[in-house]
Amino acid sequence: MSDRYLDFTNSSFGKTLAGMIGLPTPPRLKRASAPWAAQPLEGKYVLVGSSSGATLAAPLLRALSAAGAALRIIPEHAGLPPLKAAAAELKLSLHGNPAEGVGEARNHALVFDASGLSSPWQLRELYDFMQPVLRGIASNGRILLISRAPESAADIQARTASTALRGFIRSLAKEVGKNGTTANLVEVPTGADTAIDPVLRFFLSEHSAFVDGQVLPLALPQTANVALPGSLEGRIALVTGAARGIGASIAETLAREGAKVIGMDHPSAEGGLGETMAKIGGVGLALDVTAPDAAARIAEEVGKSFGGLDVVVHNAGITRDKMLRNMPPHFWDMVVNINLGAILKINEGLLKQGFNDGARVVCISSIGGIGGNAGQTNYGATKAGVIGYVDGMAATFAKRGGAINAVAPGFIETTMTAAMPFGPREVGRRINSLSQGGLPQDVAETVTFLASPAANAVNGRTLRVCGQNFFGM
């Protein structure tokens, strides 16, 4: 669906007019147009910094240099010793940041290793790193903090400092979104240090254009690290609700990364499903997710041609909105059965038969399940339920070398949101740090990342894809 305001304010006349009368100009986001690259940061400058005593400098520099980044530092910054030591060990060159990072010399990303923070006063090192260089960041830039999880801190001062980072990044994201820059925080438990490579690649690339203001705590990986590019090649993936909208985009993106896709949708959507699958060489399965034998039918169909499933994306979902006082019981039942009940039952069946070892599951939640919406008690309940479900099932999937996560989209430009009345639609679109709706591709990119075995340190989490929607933050 097109966003005419964004198109207008990005034309030369519209930009001038918006500037004259003080209207906001949503940035045009750069999105990925190709599969995950081996060196997504080639030709790009990344300014790196660290806190004194930081412990993630070596895996951080290794990952950035493997991704092709040209590394810069602020030579006078107090927290440099861990970075310098790691660079010497890895034989990497660190260049001084130019005084005015302008034009071609602008930094694509600012990455700060905050794992050494031991007190709130030491947060000053973070300020000293970020404050002077924020103006020089490129449009569609990336800011990423990596830290240890507050729960694993040695004492209360360290715990307070690492929790402070969450508020810092959420506030900074709201400041830098105007030029399409995003800011996120990744919390790394000891033991997951070398698993940060694919996570950095995702957050610093165009694949995460609409993921903003998020805190992602990593889990301890249960499997060996795998490189992100090519990691879905030949994997067997089932996507429910694949005929159109977000599901169709997820199917396309998984196929772009080399997965063999089985698209499933309700028999009433068989025509659209056939078209989507024909485009990507996928296989269609016309089946209601709430059918009592859905899991057995999936296992049987997949078993015939492919053996088992490496990836399942539970995307099928509906809304039946009404204020609770006016809501008929069938509105309640339909939403609960399709959006939540079917996920539990299909997974239960596939855990007995249908999943391969290492299977990764991604469920689609919604920020409606986090912030709540009048008229959506049924929908909000199911989407919040999804978040609790992936958290509760993470250990079960980890035991089999796999994972289960959720993605919570914000306002996404689909036929569903195009049908909203003009006023609520315009408000829904703009109330985020990037002042625009996301595209189905944005959700699909995050789902595809989580579906990859390379995301082996992400389990039981819900990642919002919402441009830092102000709703529920």
Ligand X SMILES: NC(=O)c1ccc[n+]([C@@H]2O[C@H](COP(=O)([O-])OP(=O)(O)OC[C@H]3O[C@@H](n4cnc5c(N)ncnc54)[C@H](O)[C@@H]3O)[C@@H](O)[C@H]2O)c1
Q: Which two tokens stand for residue 79?
A: 């927290």
Residue 219 in contact with residue 402, Cβ under 8 Å? Answer: no
Nearest to 49 by CA among 99, 1, 3, 117: 117
Among residues 5, 45, 379, 389, the one annotated as catalytic is: 379
Determine, following the binding rule CB under 6 A, whether residue 241 of this chain makes contact with ligand X.
yes
Tell the smallest beta-carbon distance from residue 274 to ligand X (Å).
12
Determine, following the binding rule CB under 6 A, whether residue 366 of this chain makes contact with ligand X.
yes
- E strands along 289-430, which residues? 309-314, 355-364, 403-409
Determine, following the binding rule CB under 6 A, whether residue 289 of this chain makes contact with ligand X.
yes
Residue closest to ligand X when measured from CB atoms: 317
Determine, following the binding rule CB under 6 A, whether residue 244 of this chain makes contact with ligand X.
yes
Closer residue to ligand X, CB minimum distance, 137 or 269: 269
Residue 338 in contact with residue 318, Cβ under 8 Å? Answer: yes
Nearest to 446 by CA among 28, 26, 108, 31: 31
Q: Which stretch binds ligand X (CB under 6 A): 192-200, 285-293, 297-305, 323-331?
A: 285-293
Residue 44 in contact with residue 105, Cβ under 8 Å? Answer: no
Strands 355-364 and 309-314: parallel
Question: Which residue among 181, 240, 378, 468 contacts ligand X (CB under 6 A)?
Answer: 240
Determine, following the binding rule CB under 6 A, whether residue 378 of this chain makes contact with ligand X.
no
The total of other beta-carbon atoms located within 10 Å of residue 68's CB is 15
Tell the smallest beta-carbon distance from residue 308 to ligand X (Å).
21
Closer residue to ligand X, CB minimum distance, 265 or 445: 265
d(CA 13, CA 242): 39
Closer residue to ligand X, CB minimum distance, 136 or 385: 385
Determine, following the binding rule CB under 6 A, whether residue 317 of this chain makes contact with ligand X.
yes
Q: Which stretch binds ligand X (CB under 6 A): 146-154, 162-170, 310-318, 449-457?
A: 310-318
- In our burial notation (b when 16+ CB lie closer than 10 A, e otherwise), range 81-109 reads ebbeebbeeeeeebeebeeebeeeebbbb
Q: Which stretch binds ligand X (CB under 6 A): 106-114, 127-135, 284-292, 322-330?
A: 284-292
Tell the smallest beta-carbon distance from residue 356 to ligand X (Å).
23
Q: What residue has token string 């970020």?
A: 130
In the chain, helix, strand, coil percent, each to 5?
45, 20, 35
Phi-psi category of residue 16: left, alpha or beta, with phi > 0 → left and psi -120 to 50 → alpha: alpha
Closer residue to ligand X, CB minimum distance, 266 or 345: 266
Q: Which two tokens stand for residue 206?
A: 């165009």
d(CA 92, CA 115): 21
Q: Which stretch binds ligand X (CB under 6 A): 87-95, 191-199, 264-272, 387-395?
A: 264-272
Closer residue to ligand X, CB minimum distance, 117 or 294: 294
Q: Which two tokens stand for residue 437?
A: 């709706």
Determine, following the binding rule CB under 6 A, whether residue 59 of this chain makes contact with ligand X.
no
Could you tell me how many residues of this chain bind ligand X (CB under 6 A)? 27
Residue 442 in contact with residue 210, Cβ under 8 Å? Answer: yes
Q: Which residues fall within 8 angstroms of residue 459, CB to CB, at 6 or more apart?
A: 219, 222, 394, 397, 398, 403, 404, 405
Tell the smallest beta-carbon distance from residue 191 to ligand X (Å).
33
**Catalytic residue check, 379:** yes
Contact flags string 382-421 toward ligand X, x per CB under 6 A: ---------------------------x-xx-xxxx----
Q: Which stretch binds ligand X (CB under 6 A): 180-188, 201-209, 283-291, 390-398?
A: 283-291
Determine, following the binding rule CB under 6 A, whether residue 338 of this chain makes contact with ligand X.
yes
Contact flags string 186-225 toward ligand X, x per CB under 6 A: ----------------------------------------
Q: Which value, to the nearest 10 degrees, does the dihedral of the CA atoms of residues 231, 235, 238, 244 take?
A: 60
Residues tagged active-site: 379
Using CB under 6 A as the criterion, which residues of the chain lie in contact with ligand X when the complex forms?
240-241, 243-247, 265-266, 269, 288-290, 315-318, 338, 364, 366, 409, 411-412, 414-417
